[in-house]
Amino acid sequence: MDFGKILTAMVTPMKDNSDVDFEEAGRLAKYLAEHGSDGIVVAGTTGESPTLSTDEKLELFRVVKEAVGKDVIVIAGIGSNSTANSVALAQKAAKTGVDGLMAVVPYYNKPSQEGLYQHFRVIAEASELPLMLYNIPGRTSINLLPETVLRLSKVPNIVALKEAVGMMDQVSELKRILPEDFMVYSGDDSLTLPMLALGCSGIISVASHVVGDEMKKMVDAWFEGDTKKALQWHLKLMPIFKGIFITANPVPVKYLVNTLGIKAGKVRLPLVDANPEEKEFLTNLLKRVKEG
């Protein structure tokens, strides 16, 4: 399965009382599909997965897939630091109509590379859906090494990796040793173009919530061979790629989504909303990028 080139790690809209706003989630998913996204990742870190219940996640999977239909890939975030819980959620998610699953490296436990291999293997074998691995050492404290990804690539339905390690040498090694059809996606907006240059498949983006059309122009230019144009877009978008992480994700992007007229709402504790200074910075940043 081809997951596409731009996938958005979607925020989870919340009502004023912090309940999930499922109706608005469907509306946001449609908006993203109309503004550059080939696919949507639901209940990932940007979707505040640590504070979502299993029932909330499953309903989000159903609602988002129903909203975007067959033309847009929906990937369900099912990973946790409990293999058993991840397996159970994978099995339930497979019944909601989603197209694939994503599982993050277990956080806090600090497993060995063998432990990581066994964790992901067991999750993959719990469902027939294609599985994407997610490596983000800055949040998990463990780096999923290229050699372990190579082992996992031999599990039939492990087909992709979201790589947010931030080291191009590691990305180069991944592309050197992995099968050509194994998809590697950037997990950092600012590294989209550098990773495309290394032969990666695309980006799992946060910024695409607000500059999805512009990112599509950048990515399309790259794949059409217009590297100069792709670079111009990369440089133009760099301020927003970096600026939307002025405080903990997804606080900034959720604020900006609200400014678009989509009711993303607030974040759940322990996260708190952007302060007035951050809001002013973000508003001006998006305005400059859109007008510049």
pLDDT for the residue 291: 85
Give yes or no: 134 in active site.
yes
Catalytic residue among 31, 117, 134, 185: 134
Q: Where are the domains of the chain?
A: 6-237
Q: 82-127: per-residue pLDDT in tens?
A: 999 999 999 999 999 999 999 999 999 999 999 999 999 999 999 9
Give yes or no: 162 in active site.
yes
Counting other chains too, the contacts that 148-153 makes at CB distance below 8 Å and 24 or more residues apart are 148/113, 148/116, 148/117, 149/174, 149/178, 150/177, 150/178, 151/117, 152/117, 152/120, 152/121, 152/124, 153/178, 153/179, 153/182
pLDDT for the residue 26: 98
pLDDT in tens, the chain (292 residues): 789 999 999 999 999 999 999 999 999 999 999 999 999 999 999 999 999 999 999 999 999 999 999 999 999 999 999 999 999 999 999 999 999 999 999 999 999 999 999 999 999 999 999 999 999 999 999 999 999 999 999 999 999 999 999 999 999 999 999 999 999 999 999 999 999 999 999 999 999 999 999 999 999 999 999 999 999 999 999 999 999 999 999 999 999 999 999 999 999 999 999 999 999 999 999 999 988 7
Tokens of 85: 């819980």
CATH architecture for segment(s) 6-237? Alpha-Beta Barrel (3.20)
CA 192 to chain centre: 13
Catalytic residue among 5, 65, 162, 217: 162
pLDDT for the residue 13: 98
Cβ atoms of residues 268 and 51 within 8 Å? yes
CB-CB neighbours of 38 under 10 Å: 19
- Helices and strands (H, E) in the chain, number of each type: 12, 8
